[in-house]
Amino acid sequence: MFHLSYSDKESLEREPRGESQQEVLRRAAKDLPIYTRTMSGAIRYCDRCHLVKPDRCHHCSVCDKCILKMDHHCPWVNNCVGFSNYKFFLLFLAYSLLYCLFIAATDLQYFIKFWTNGLPDTQAKFHIMFLFFAAAMFSVSLSSLFGYHCWLVSKNKSTLEVFRAPIFRHRTDKNGFSLGFSKNLRQVFGDEKKYWLLPVFSSLGDGCSFPTCLVNQDPEQASTPGGLNSTSKNENHLFPAKPLRDSQSHLLTDTLSWSETSGKAEKGKVGMSNPALTMENET
């Protein structure tokens, strides 16, 4: 649904940069659940994949494709970490950290004996020393990385969003996708706690649209000092209508399901864009 149609793609390539191309992108994105823009205020468009980028989606130059809710490209797993495998990446870090801690703990007594000459004088004692140092160093590095990603989950951020805050239609907000600790945690691990520690996909949503505390904000109304409309604070912290396990791609079958909580008035706002909008192709 986010790919440009053949006619729109031809129009975009035929028209010179300017208002004509803006109109093509506005027409293509008018019914899409997108709320973020580029730094210049343009609709986020990928000229390599020829699609309007969903919120939190970025193009990976290594994989040469757009990744939903991209966090980073990980050389250790030779793959991008994003919406479809972020929970598995966190569990991979947790499992690895526990394994290294277990090895370091069980090897500690023999490591102490190595320095007190309590071990037989064989080459095996050097293996014990190497094993302890390797497990200890990996434990330190994994604990730092795992702690950092736990913080990201608690704030509902990705690594890319930490370095560059998402830009919404009316302003930049580094916490625009944060819904509170409990809901942020459930977005990654799901509602059923029995699946949290298992390598089973249980994340909420479809990766194309995300609940945000800024979606229903009316720029015409007065805002609280924190920038949020106090009358709709509790209404904004909602999840998409259907999780992935219920509908693999509800945006392809029901373009209105993502906006059920917004009402009919919100539908007219989704396609609106800044009059001064300029197109910017991102890679």
Tens of pLDDT, residue by residue over 14-67, are 776 666 777 788 788 888 888 998 888 888 888 888 889 999 999 999 999 999
Give the confidence band of 193 by pLDDT, cuts at 50, 70, 90: very high
Residue 141: count of CB within 10 angstroms of its CB? 12
CA atoms within 13 A on the CB side of 222: 2
Query: Beta-carbon neighbour count of residue 206 at 10 Å?
Result: 24
Residue 280 pLDDT > 90, yes or no? no
pLDDT band at 106 (very low <50, low <70, confident <90, very high): very high
* Calculated CA dihedral for residues 257, 262, 267, 269, nearest 10 degrees: -140
Give the span between the Cα atoms of 172 and 36, in whole angstroms.
Answer: 9
For the record, the structure tokens of 196 come out as 């949290």
User: 67 phi and psi, to 5 degrees?
Assistant: -115, 125
Instruction: State the pLDDT at residue 18.
Output: 65
- Cα diameter, the chain: 81
Q: pLDDT-based confidence at 182, cuts 50/70/90?
A: very high
Which residues are paired to 80 by β-bridges? 73
Q: Which two tokens stand for residue 15?
A: 């028209």
Here the tokens at position 96 are: 């690895």
| Six-digit token string for 202 | 């249980």
Q: How many CB atoms are closer than 10 A to CB 143?
A: 14
H helical segments located in 116-271: 124-155, 159-163, 181-189, 233-236, 250-253, 264-270
* The two structure tokens encoding residue 279: 């197109």
Going by pLDDT thresholds of 50, 70 and 90, the confidence category of residue 114 is confident
Sequence-distant (6+) residues with CB within 8 A of 47 are 281, 283
Whether 154 has a pLDDT exceeding 70, the answer reads yes
Torsion-angle region of residue 261: left (phi > 0), alpha (psi -120 to 50) or beta?
A: alpha
Active site residues: 74
Which one is predicted more confidently, 115 or 164?
164
